[in-house]
A and B are shown apart, each in its own frame.
Chain A
C-alpha cells in the first residue's frame, strides 16, 4: 500500500490539473457566451460575476468528484488486496484536516460574500429590484425620478430615462413620464442610456424580467420597485413574467427593442402625440395605482360607486409619491 501522503498528493494533483484545465476552458470558451450576454452594463457585470463563481465552483466540484472517484477505484471491497481499514482515534478525527477544511470553506465563503456585496453596490443593484427608495443608484437617477412626477419632465440623450412598467394580468404596459406620461405596450429604449425602471402592478405579484437587459424586479400592487441598467447595444430583447401570476402566466411575455437615441426620440415624440387623447383619460402619472373592482382582490364590498366593468377607470387615484 502507498502511504498516506501519496494518496492525498495524487488526489490533489489530479484535482489541480483538471481544475486548471476546466477553468481555462470555461473562462475562454463558455464564459463569454453565458447568458444574459452583454447588452447592458448589468448584463455584462452579472455575466462576469457568474463566470467568477463558476471558476471557483469548478475546482470544488472536481475536487469532490476526484476524491469520490479515487475512493471507488481504490478502496472497493471487490478489489483484490484492499487493505483492511483501520479504526481507532486516528480514523475518527484529524484536527489538521478539520481545521484546514473549515478555514478554506470560510475563506471562500467570506470572499464570495464580500465580492457579491461590492458588485451589488458598484453595479447599482445589478439590475435587480431595489424597492421604492433605491440605496444604490446611478448618477442623475434621483433627479430624473423626482422630475418624472412633474409635468415639466423631459428627456434628452445622456439623461436618465424613467420608464414605468405596469404589470397586470397578463401583460406589461409601459409609461414614459418624460414624454407626457403616455402608456404603450411597446418597450423601446435608447442606446447608451441609463434606464430607471419603476415596476408596479395593478393586481397580483408579477416579476418584470427583461432577459437580455438583465433586469429583474417583482411587480407588487401599490409598491414601486426600481431597477437600473444602462443599455450598451442595439437589438431586440425579451420580456417575461417570472413570478407566477395566474393561469396565463406562461403567456405573459413581449419583446422590446433598444434603438439609437435619435430613433428613440422620434418614436417617443410620435407616440406621445398619437396617444395624446388616450393619455388624457389615464390617471395622472404616479408610482402606484389602486386597482378598481376588476383588479385582484377587488370585489370586496362593491358599493355601487365603482363601475364594475368601466373601460375608463382602469386604475384609480394617484398615490403619494414615495
Chain B
C-alpha cells in the first residue's frame, strides 16, 4: 500500500538501474577486482584482527586473565571485534552509514551483473537469499562433520578417538554452529528471497540492513571457528557460567560469536518484520497473506525481541573475561544463575525461531501437493502468533532442577504445556488439508510429510520433559538431546529441504533431480529416525549429555546410533551430489510453475527481474483456492497494463 499500484511502467524501467547522483565513479563503485567484494573483506578482516590483537596486548599487557597462563582475553576480544569491523568495512556494509555520519551523500552500492555479485554487498533480496542458501549450507555441513566426529567417539566407551578436551571442543562447536545456523536456515535464504515475492513487493524495507544481516552472519561463522586455535571452549552451546568464566580464551569466540550472529538475527528479523507490515501489495490484507509469511513474521518478531537478551548476556561474559567485571562471578557479587536466566530467556524463544518457519513451509507446500485449500488458515496464523507470544513465558523449564525459583515450577510446567496447544494447530491444519485430497508425492511433499512424523515425536517427548516429576528422570540426558534433534532436525531441517526442493526451481531456474531427491529423502528420513530414536532409550537408561564415555551396557545402542548417523551423513552427500548435478553438471530448465502452485511468487517472470513485478500487483484473494470451481482470480498483475488476471488454475485466463 505504500507503493501505488498505478505506478507507471516507465519509471520502473528507469529504476532498475538507478543513475548515480554523482559525477564520476568512486572506487567503491568501480566494477571488477578493485571494488569492494569478499576478497577486500577478508583482507580488511585480517588487518583488523592483527590491529585488535596488538591493541589488546598493548593496553592490557601485564594483566593476564589467568595467573601465569600467558593468556590474554582482552587481546583476543579486541582482535575479533576489529576483525568483524574490518570485514564489514571491507565488504562495504558501512559505506552508507559512515558517509551519512560525516554528512556526505553516500555512494550507491555497485550493481554488478554476473556471478561476482554473489560475493558482494548487494541490495537485491534475491541475491541475498541465494547467498544465504550457500551460507547456511556451509554452517550445516561443517556442523554435520562435527556430528560425525561425535558419533565416532561414542562408538566405544573405552577406546577413545579424541582426548576429552578435544571431544568437548567438538561437541561445543557442533552445538553452537548448528544453533547459529538454525536461527537463519529458513528465514535467511527462503524468507529473504520469497517474502517480497509473496507479498507483492519490489524490495525489502531496508535492503542495506538485509545485506548487512547476511555478511555479519558469515562473520559469525569465522568468529565461532576462531575458537579452535585458542583451544576451543568447554561449555557446550549453552555456555554456562562459571565454566564459562573458567574457560580459556576460546570462550571469547563463543561469546562474541553469539553477539555477532545476534546482530545479524536482530537486523534480519526487524527488516523482514518491517517489510511484511509495510510493503504488502494493495489488497494483500492480513487474511490473504500466505501462511509462510505469517510464520516468517512471527519468527522475525521473536528474533527482534529475544535476541537482544543474548547479545547483552554475551557482552557481559566478554566483560567478565576481559575487564574483569563480575556479572557471573558468584564470589564477587555476581551470579551463575544470571547467565542461566538470560541465556534461556533468549534460548526458549529461540527454540520457536527454529520451529515456526518449518511449520510455515509445510503449511505452504501442503495445499500445492494435495490440490486442496489450506485447512483452518486462521487457526494456523493464530497458532503461530500464540506460540510466539507464549514462548517468552516458558524459559525456566530448562532450569527445573537448577534450584532457581523452585516454587515457580508449577507455573512453568503449565505454560510449557499450554504452548503445545497452538503448536498442535499445525497438525490440525495438516490433517485437515490432507483429508480427501489427491496427493502428489513429489520430493518437497515427502519432506513435508516427514516433518509431521518427526515433529510429532519431538513434540510429544517435549510434554514428557515439561512434566517436572518426569523431568527429574530425563533432564540433562540423551532423552533431551534426542527430543530437540527431533524438533530441530526432524522439523526445521526437513522443512528446509522441502522448501529448497520446492523453491530452488524458482530461485535458479533449474529443477532438482527427482530420482536423486527421492534417494536423498528416504536415506535421510530412515537414518534420521534410526540415529535419534535409540537416543531416547539411551537417555532413559541413564546416559548424560556431552560425555565421552558411558556405561558398557549402552554400547550396542550407541553403536547402532553411530552407524545410522554415518549413513545419515551419507544422505547429505546425496543431497550435495544432487545439488551439483542439477545446478551445474546437467541442469534441466525448470518450467515457470513446475508444481502448479497458485502462490504469487510463481507468477513473476522467470528469472525474476531485479524489481520483481513489472507493476505492483493488486491482490484479489488468498493463494489457496485449489480445486475450487469459479475461484476468484489471485491477483491483478497488470501485465501489459490491461489487467491480466491469474486464475485459480495458475494460468493467465486472458
Contacts and interface: CB of A to CB of B under 8 A. Distances in A.
A291 B332 CA distance: 12
Contact of A127 (B437, B439, B472, B550): B472
Interface string A113-124: 100110111010
A42 interface: yes
A244 B377 contact: no
B336 A240 contact: no
Interface stretch (B221-229, B300-308, B397-405, B634-642): B397-405
A246 B246 contact: yes
Given A218-B402, A242-B545, A302-B67, A296 B246 contact: yes
A220 B402 contact: yes
A244 B542 contact: no
Given A75-B438, A297-B242, A92 B402 contact: no
Interface in B197-239: 234-236, 238
A49 B470 contact: yes
B435 interface: yes
B401 A291 contact: no
A88 B104 CA distance: 57
Which residue, of A91, A123, A220, has the highest number of chain B Cβ atoms within 10 A?
A: A91
B50 interface: no
Interface string B465-483: 0111111110111000000
A11 to B, nearest CB: 9
Contacts of A42: 469, 472
A242 B470 contact: no
Given A217-B401, A290-B331, A53 B464 contact: yes
A203 B401 CA distance: 18
A45 interface: yes
B322 interface: no
B409 A120 contact: yes
Contact of B373 (A57, A92, A240): A92
Interface residues of B, number: 103
B165 A247 contact: yes
B194 interface: no
A46 B329 contact: no
Interface size grouping (class) on chain A = 35 or more
A77 B442 CA distance: 11
Interface stretch (B557-565, B576-584, B620-628): B620-628
Interface string A216-241: 11101111110000000000001011
B240 A109 contact: no
Contacts of B164: 247-248, 250-251
A72 interface: yes
Contacts of B414: 113, 117
A85 B543 CA distance: 49
B420 A125 contact: no
A76 B460 contact: no
A300 B546 contact: no
Contacts of A129: 401-403, 406
A243 B417 contact: no
Contacts of A149: none
A290 B332 CA distance: 11
Given A117-B413, A130-B403, A218-B402, A87 B420 contact: no
Interface string B429-442: 00110111111110
Interface in B515-559: 540-542, 544-551
Given A85-B626, A87-B626, A246-B243, A120 B548 contact: no
Contact of A128 (B165, B167, B468, B545): B468
B410 A117 contact: yes
B168 interface: yes
B542 A240 contact: yes
A101 B468 CA distance: 26
A84 B403 contact: no
B544 A242 contact: yes
Given A132-B403, A204-B246, A112 B463 contact: yes
B393 interface: no
Given A87-B628, A109-B420, A290-B331, A245 B243 contact: yes
A131 B399 CA distance: 11
Interface in A51-89: 53, 57, 60-61, 64-65, 67-68, 71-72, 75-78, 82-88
Interface string A161-188: 0000000000000000000000000000
B330 A221 contact: yes
B476 A123 contact: no
22 contacts: A34-B540, A46-B473, A49-B467, A57-B460, A61-B460, A68-B434, A71-B437, A77-B441, A85-B371, A86-B372, A86-B436, A101-B424, A109-B421, A112-B463, A112-B467, A131-B406, A205-B243, A218-B402, A240-B542, A241-B544, A297-B242, A300-B324
Given A75-B437, A244-B546, 14 more contacts: A35-B542, A64-B452, A78-B441, A101-B428, A102-B421, A128-B469, A134-B406, A216-B475, A240-B542, A249-B547, A293-B67, A296-B245, A297-B246, A297-B330
Interface of B: 66-67, 164-165, 167-168, 234-236, 238, 240-243, 245-246, 324, 329-332, 336-337, 340, 370-379, 399-407, 409-410, 413-414, 417-418, 420-421, 424-425, 427-428, 431-432, 434-441, 449, 452-453, 456-457, 460, 463-464, 466-473, 475-477, 540-542, 544-551, 624-629, 631, 648
Interface of A: 4, 7, 34-36, 42, 45-46, 49-50, 53, 57, 60-61, 64-65, 67-68, 71-72, 75-78, 82-88, 91-94, 97-98, 101-102, 105-106, 109-110, 112-113, 116-117, 119-121, 123, 125-132, 134-135, 199, 203-205, 207, 209, 211, 214-218, 220-225, 238, 240-251, 290-291, 293, 296-297, 299-300, 302, 308
